Amino acid sequence: MNNRIIKHIEEQLQCHIVHHELVGGGCIAQTARLTSDDKRSFFLKQGFIGDAFRKEANGLNELRKSQAIRIPEVILVNDEFLLLEDIKSGVKTSRFFTNFGVAYANMHRFEGESFGYKEDNFIGSTPQINTPNNNWLDFYFTHRLLFQYQLAEKNGYADTNFADAFKHLEQRLPHILQGSEEAPCLLHGDLWGGNYLVDENGSAVLIDPAVYYGHREADLAMTKLFGGFTAEFYRSYQQCYPLKEGYQYRENIYLLYHVLNHLNLFGSSYKQQALQLMNSYR
Protein backbone atom coordinates (compact mmCIF):
# COMPACT_ATOMS: atom_id res chain seq x y z
CA MET A 1 0.00 0.00 0.00
CA ASN A 2 1.36 3.42 -0.98
CA ASN A 3 1.72 5.43 2.24
CA ARG A 4 1.87 8.72 0.34
CA ILE A 5 -1.52 8.03 -1.23
CA ILE A 6 -2.98 7.07 2.15
CA LYS A 7 -1.67 10.29 3.68
CA HIS A 8 -3.17 12.33 0.85
CA ILE A 9 -6.56 10.63 1.32
CA GLU A 10 -6.44 11.29 5.05
CA GLU A 11 -5.67 14.97 4.48
CA GLN A 12 -8.42 15.41 1.92
CA LEU A 13 -11.10 13.57 3.89
CA GLN A 14 -10.03 14.75 7.36
CA CYS A 15 -9.79 11.24 8.79
CA HIS A 16 -7.32 8.49 9.60
CA ILE A 17 -7.24 5.22 7.67
CA VAL A 18 -7.16 2.54 10.34
CA HIS A 19 -7.47 -0.57 8.20
CA HIS A 20 -6.88 -1.65 4.63
CA GLU A 21 -7.14 -4.95 2.80
CA LEU A 22 -6.17 -5.86 -0.72
CA VAL A 23 -9.04 -6.92 -2.98
CA GLY A 24 -8.59 -9.22 -5.97
CA GLY A 25 -10.25 -9.03 -9.34
CA GLY A 26 -8.52 -6.24 -11.20
CA CYS A 27 -6.16 -7.14 -14.06
CA ILE A 28 -4.98 -3.57 -14.66
CA ALA A 29 -5.17 -1.67 -11.36
CA GLN A 30 -4.34 -2.70 -7.80
CA THR A 31 -7.41 -2.53 -5.58
CA ALA A 32 -7.99 -2.28 -1.85
CA ARG A 33 -10.74 -1.57 0.66
CA LEU A 34 -10.04 1.16 3.22
CA THR A 35 -11.71 1.85 6.56
CA SER A 36 -11.42 5.19 8.36
CA ASP A 37 -11.54 5.99 12.07
CA ASP A 38 -14.98 7.57 11.56
CA LYS A 39 -16.32 4.23 10.26
CA ARG A 40 -16.40 5.14 6.60
CA SER A 41 -15.41 2.57 3.99
CA PHE A 42 -13.83 3.29 0.60
CA PHE A 43 -12.69 1.37 -2.46
CA LEU A 44 -9.24 2.34 -3.76
CA LYS A 45 -7.77 1.73 -7.20
CA GLN A 46 -4.12 2.52 -7.89
CA GLY A 47 -1.18 1.45 -10.00
CA PHE A 48 -2.18 2.60 -13.49
CA ILE A 49 0.09 5.11 -15.25
CA GLY A 50 -1.45 8.11 -17.02
CA ASP A 51 -4.89 9.67 -16.80
CA ALA A 52 -6.96 6.46 -16.89
CA PHE A 53 -8.35 7.00 -13.39
CA ARG A 54 -9.57 10.50 -14.27
CA LYS A 55 -11.22 9.12 -17.41
CA GLU A 56 -12.85 6.33 -15.40
CA ALA A 57 -14.14 8.84 -12.85
CA ASN A 58 -15.61 10.99 -15.62
CA GLY A 59 -17.28 7.93 -17.10
CA LEU A 60 -18.82 6.95 -13.77
CA ASN A 61 -20.11 10.48 -13.27
CA GLU A 62 -21.57 10.44 -16.78
CA LEU A 63 -23.43 7.20 -16.06
CA ARG A 64 -24.82 8.72 -12.87
CA LYS A 65 -26.52 11.43 -14.95
CA SER A 66 -29.07 8.89 -16.20
CA GLN A 67 -30.29 8.23 -12.63
CA ALA A 68 -31.35 4.81 -13.89
CA ILE A 69 -28.98 2.44 -12.11
CA ARG A 70 -26.63 2.59 -9.15
CA ILE A 71 -23.10 3.85 -9.88
CA PRO A 72 -20.37 4.15 -7.22
CA GLU A 73 -19.80 7.71 -6.10
CA VAL A 74 -16.40 9.17 -6.98
CA ILE A 75 -14.79 10.44 -3.75
CA LEU A 76 -11.30 11.48 -4.91
CA VAL A 77 -9.30 11.07 -8.10
CA ASN A 78 -5.95 12.06 -9.56
CA ASP A 79 -3.38 10.48 -11.88
CA GLU A 80 -2.23 8.05 -9.16
CA PHE A 81 -5.46 6.70 -7.72
CA LEU A 82 -9.24 6.59 -7.79
CA LEU A 83 -11.17 6.49 -4.52
CA LEU A 84 -14.77 5.32 -4.73
CA GLU A 85 -17.73 4.66 -2.52
CA ASP A 86 -17.42 1.13 -1.18
CA ILE A 87 -20.42 -0.92 -2.30
CA LYS A 88 -21.49 -3.45 0.31
CA SER A 89 -21.94 -6.83 -1.33
CA GLY A 90 -25.31 -8.56 -1.38
CA VAL A 91 -26.95 -11.54 -3.09
CA LYS A 92 -29.05 -11.65 -6.24
CA THR A 93 -32.78 -11.77 -5.74
CA SER A 94 -35.02 -13.90 -7.97
CA ARG A 95 -35.80 -10.75 -9.98
CA PHE A 96 -32.22 -9.50 -10.17
CA PHE A 97 -31.76 -9.84 -13.93
CA THR A 98 -35.33 -8.72 -14.67
CA ASN A 99 -34.76 -5.52 -12.72
CA PHE A 100 -31.27 -5.13 -14.19
CA GLY A 101 -32.67 -5.31 -17.73
CA VAL A 102 -35.25 -2.61 -16.99
CA ALA A 103 -32.67 -0.36 -15.34
CA TYR A 104 -30.25 -0.79 -18.24
CA ALA A 105 -32.97 0.02 -20.76
CA ASN A 106 -33.79 3.19 -18.83
CA MET A 107 -30.13 4.15 -18.80
CA HIS A 108 -30.11 3.83 -22.58
CA ARG A 109 -32.96 6.35 -22.80
CA PHE A 110 -30.47 9.03 -21.72
CA GLU A 111 -29.41 10.59 -25.02
CA GLY A 112 -26.54 12.77 -26.19
CA GLU A 113 -26.10 15.28 -29.00
CA SER A 114 -23.65 13.23 -31.08
CA PHE A 115 -21.90 9.88 -31.20
CA GLY A 116 -18.73 9.78 -29.13
CA TYR A 117 -17.89 11.64 -25.97
CA LYS A 118 -16.28 14.83 -24.70
CA GLU A 119 -12.93 13.06 -24.32
CA ASP A 120 -11.09 9.91 -25.32
CA ASN A 121 -10.85 7.19 -22.69
CA PHE A 122 -9.90 3.53 -22.46
CA ILE A 123 -11.33 0.11 -23.22
CA GLY A 124 -9.32 -2.03 -20.85
CA SER A 125 -5.85 -0.50 -21.25
CA THR A 126 -6.38 0.31 -24.94
CA PRO A 127 -7.09 3.93 -25.89
CA GLN A 128 -10.67 4.46 -27.04
CA ILE A 129 -11.16 7.36 -29.46
CA ASN A 130 -14.40 9.28 -28.93
CA THR A 131 -14.14 12.23 -31.32
CA PRO A 132 -17.79 13.35 -31.76
CA ASN A 133 -19.50 12.52 -35.05
CA ASN A 134 -23.12 12.86 -36.17
CA ASN A 135 -22.91 9.73 -38.32
CA TRP A 136 -22.90 6.40 -36.47
CA LEU A 137 -21.56 4.39 -39.39
CA ASP A 138 -18.58 6.72 -39.80
CA PHE A 139 -17.96 6.88 -36.06
CA TYR A 140 -18.16 3.15 -35.49
CA PHE A 141 -16.02 2.18 -38.45
CA THR A 142 -13.31 4.81 -37.94
CA HIS A 143 -12.98 4.92 -34.16
CA ARG A 144 -13.88 1.36 -33.28
CA LEU A 145 -13.25 -1.19 -36.04
CA LEU A 146 -10.54 0.55 -38.08
CA PHE A 147 -8.67 1.73 -34.98
CA GLN A 148 -8.51 -1.82 -33.62
CA TYR A 149 -7.66 -3.29 -37.02
CA GLN A 150 -4.73 -0.90 -37.41
CA LEU A 151 -3.50 -1.94 -33.97
CA ALA A 152 -3.75 -5.56 -35.08
CA GLU A 153 -1.65 -4.69 -38.13
CA LYS A 154 1.02 -3.13 -35.92
CA ASN A 155 0.93 -6.18 -33.68
CA GLY A 156 1.47 -8.54 -36.61
CA TYR A 157 -1.94 -10.24 -36.65
CA ALA A 158 -3.27 -8.95 -40.00
CA ASP A 159 -2.15 -11.58 -42.50
CA THR A 160 -3.67 -11.80 -45.99
CA ASN A 161 -6.82 -13.67 -44.93
CA PHE A 162 -7.37 -11.28 -42.04
CA ALA A 163 -6.88 -8.20 -44.23
CA ASP A 164 -9.19 -9.53 -46.95
CA ALA A 165 -11.92 -10.30 -44.43
CA PHE A 166 -11.69 -6.80 -42.95
CA LYS A 167 -11.77 -5.13 -46.37
CA HIS A 168 -14.87 -7.12 -47.34
CA LEU A 169 -16.50 -6.19 -44.05
CA GLU A 170 -15.80 -2.51 -44.64
CA GLN A 171 -17.64 -2.73 -47.97
CA ARG A 172 -20.58 -4.51 -46.32
CA LEU A 173 -20.89 -2.25 -43.30
CA PRO A 174 -23.44 0.22 -44.75
CA HIS A 175 -25.71 -2.72 -45.58
CA ILE A 176 -25.17 -4.38 -42.19
CA LEU A 177 -26.16 -1.26 -40.25
CA GLN A 178 -28.98 -0.20 -42.58
CA GLY A 179 -32.23 0.30 -40.71
CA SER A 180 -30.64 0.51 -37.26
CA GLU A 181 -30.51 4.31 -37.09
CA GLU A 182 -31.09 5.74 -33.61
CA ALA A 183 -30.17 8.79 -31.59
CA PRO A 184 -26.90 8.60 -29.61
CA CYS A 185 -27.52 7.14 -26.16
CA LEU A 186 -25.40 6.68 -23.06
CA LEU A 187 -23.40 3.45 -23.12
CA HIS A 188 -21.41 1.75 -20.39
CA GLY A 189 -19.16 0.56 -23.19
CA ASP A 190 -17.70 -2.57 -21.57
CA LEU A 191 -20.45 -4.43 -19.76
CA TRP A 192 -19.84 -8.11 -19.03
CA GLY A 193 -20.20 -10.27 -15.94
CA GLY A 194 -17.10 -8.82 -14.31
CA ASN A 195 -18.21 -5.20 -14.61
CA TYR A 196 -21.24 -5.16 -12.39
CA LEU A 197 -21.69 -5.74 -8.66
CA VAL A 198 -24.64 -6.83 -6.53
CA ASP A 199 -25.30 -4.35 -3.72
CA GLU A 200 -26.75 -4.89 -0.25
CA ASN A 201 -30.28 -4.57 -1.65
CA GLY A 202 -29.69 -7.21 -4.32
CA SER A 203 -29.57 -4.62 -7.12
CA ALA A 204 -27.03 -4.19 -9.92
CA VAL A 205 -24.22 -1.64 -9.70
CA LEU A 206 -22.15 -0.71 -12.76
CA ILE A 207 -18.36 -0.39 -12.50
CA ASP A 208 -15.32 -0.06 -14.82
CA PRO A 209 -16.99 1.77 -17.72
CA ALA A 210 -15.66 2.75 -21.15
CA VAL A 211 -18.33 5.40 -21.60
CA TYR A 212 -19.44 7.02 -24.85
CA TYR A 213 -22.69 7.82 -26.68
CA GLY A 214 -23.58 5.32 -29.37
CA HIS A 215 -26.06 2.68 -30.51
CA ARG A 216 -27.39 0.64 -27.60
CA GLU A 217 -27.06 -2.55 -29.66
CA ALA A 218 -23.29 -2.18 -29.24
CA ASP A 219 -23.67 -2.20 -25.44
CA LEU A 220 -25.93 -5.24 -25.41
CA ALA A 221 -23.72 -7.22 -27.77
CA MET A 222 -20.79 -6.85 -25.37
CA THR A 223 -22.85 -8.52 -22.62
CA LYS A 224 -22.80 -11.71 -24.72
CA LEU A 225 -19.04 -11.93 -25.28
CA PHE A 226 -18.43 -14.26 -22.33
CA GLY A 227 -21.64 -16.26 -22.31
CA GLY A 228 -24.21 -13.53 -21.83
CA PHE A 229 -26.64 -12.70 -19.07
CA THR A 230 -29.87 -14.56 -18.36
CA ALA A 231 -32.87 -14.65 -20.68
CA GLU A 232 -34.75 -12.55 -18.12
CA PHE A 233 -32.30 -9.68 -18.56
CA TYR A 234 -32.82 -9.48 -22.33
CA ARG A 235 -36.57 -10.12 -22.10
CA SER A 236 -37.17 -7.32 -19.60
CA TYR A 237 -34.93 -4.98 -21.58
CA GLN A 238 -36.93 -5.65 -24.75
CA GLN A 239 -40.23 -5.15 -22.97
CA CYS A 240 -39.06 -1.84 -21.56
CA TYR A 241 -37.25 -0.47 -24.63
CA PRO A 242 -37.58 -2.70 -27.74
CA LEU A 243 -34.64 -2.95 -30.11
CA LYS A 244 -35.00 -2.37 -33.83
CA GLU A 245 -35.66 -5.31 -36.11
CA GLY A 246 -32.47 -7.08 -37.18
CA TYR A 247 -30.52 -6.44 -33.99
CA GLN A 248 -29.49 -10.11 -33.78
CA TYR A 249 -28.01 -9.92 -37.28
CA ARG A 250 -25.96 -6.90 -36.21
CA GLU A 251 -24.63 -8.44 -32.99
CA ASN A 252 -21.46 -9.83 -34.55
CA ILE A 253 -20.38 -6.44 -35.92
CA TYR A 254 -20.46 -5.06 -32.39
CA LEU A 255 -18.84 -8.09 -30.81
CA LEU A 256 -16.01 -7.67 -33.32
CA TYR A 257 -14.78 -4.45 -31.70
CA HIS A 258 -14.27 -6.17 -28.37
CA VAL A 259 -12.77 -9.33 -29.83
CA LEU A 260 -10.27 -7.24 -31.81
CA ASN A 261 -9.44 -5.41 -28.61
CA HIS A 262 -8.87 -8.71 -26.81
CA LEU A 263 -6.68 -9.82 -29.71
CA ASN A 264 -4.57 -6.69 -29.30
CA LEU A 265 -4.45 -6.96 -25.50
CA PHE A 266 -4.07 -10.69 -24.94
CA GLY A 267 -2.74 -12.19 -28.14
CA SER A 268 -3.41 -14.58 -30.98
CA SER A 269 -5.87 -16.83 -29.15
CA TYR A 270 -8.56 -14.32 -30.19
CA LYS A 271 -7.54 -14.13 -33.85
CA GLN A 272 -9.71 -16.97 -35.11
CA GLN A 273 -12.76 -15.62 -33.31
CA ALA A 274 -12.20 -12.19 -34.88
CA LEU A 275 -11.88 -13.80 -38.31
CA GLN A 276 -15.08 -15.80 -37.81
CA LEU A 277 -17.01 -12.68 -36.82
CA MET A 278 -15.81 -10.82 -39.92
CA ASN A 279 -16.58 -13.74 -42.19
CA SER A 280 -20.08 -14.15 -40.71
CA TYR A 281 -21.19 -11.33 -43.03
CA ARG A 282 -19.97 -12.92 -46.27
pLDDT (mean) for 80-88 = 96
Q: What are the tens digits of pLDDT across the range 264-281?
A: 999 999 999 999 999 999
pLDDT, the chain, mean: 95
179 has a pLDDT exceeding 80: yes
Is the CB of residue 143 less than 8 Å from the CB of residue 130? Answer: yes
pLDDT (mean) for 29-44 = 93
pLDDT (mean) for 207-222 = 98
Q: How confident is the model at residue 48 (pLDDT cuts 50, 70, 90)?
A: confident
The torsion angle over the Cα atoms of residues 267, 273, 276 and 281, rounded to 10 degrees, is: -100
Q: What is the rounded CA–CA span in Å between residue 227 and residue 206?
A: 18
Q: How much is the pLDDT for 256?
A: 98
121 — phi, psi (to 5°)? -145, -145
Q: How much is the pLDDT for 27?
A: 58
Catalytic residue among 79, 164, 190, 208: 190
Top-confidence range, 13-17, 37-41, 117-121: 117-121
Among the listed residues 171, 181, 169, 172, the one whose alpha carbon sits nearest the alpha carbon of residue 245: 181
Q: How much is the pLDDT for 23?
A: 86
Among the listed residues 189, 197, 193, the one whose alpha carbon sits nearest the alpha carbon of residue 33: 197
pLDDT (mean) for 96-100 = 98
pLDDT (mean) for 144-150 = 98
Q: Is 190 a catalytic residue?
A: yes
pTM of the model: 0.95
26 has a pLDDT exceeding 70: no
Tally the residues of the chain: 282
Q: How confident is the model at residue 58 (pLDDT cuts 50, 70, 90)?
A: very high
Q: How much is the pLDDT for 70?
A: 98
207 has a pLDDT exceeding 70: yes
Share of the chain above pLDDT 70, in %: 98
Q: How much is the pLDDT for 172?
A: 98
Q: What are the tens digits of pLDDT across the range 193-203?
A: 999 999 999 99
Q: What is the rounded CA–CA span in Å between residue 15 and residue 24?
A: 25
Q: How confident is the model at residue 1 (pLDDT cuts 50, 70, 90)?
A: low
44 has a pLDDT exceeding 80: yes
Q: What is the rounded CA–CA span in Å between residue 154 and residue 146?
A: 12
Domains and CATH numbers, the chain: 3-85 (3.30.200.20), 96-279 (3.90.1200.10)
100 has a pLDDT exceeding 90: yes
208 has a pLDDT exceeding 90: yes
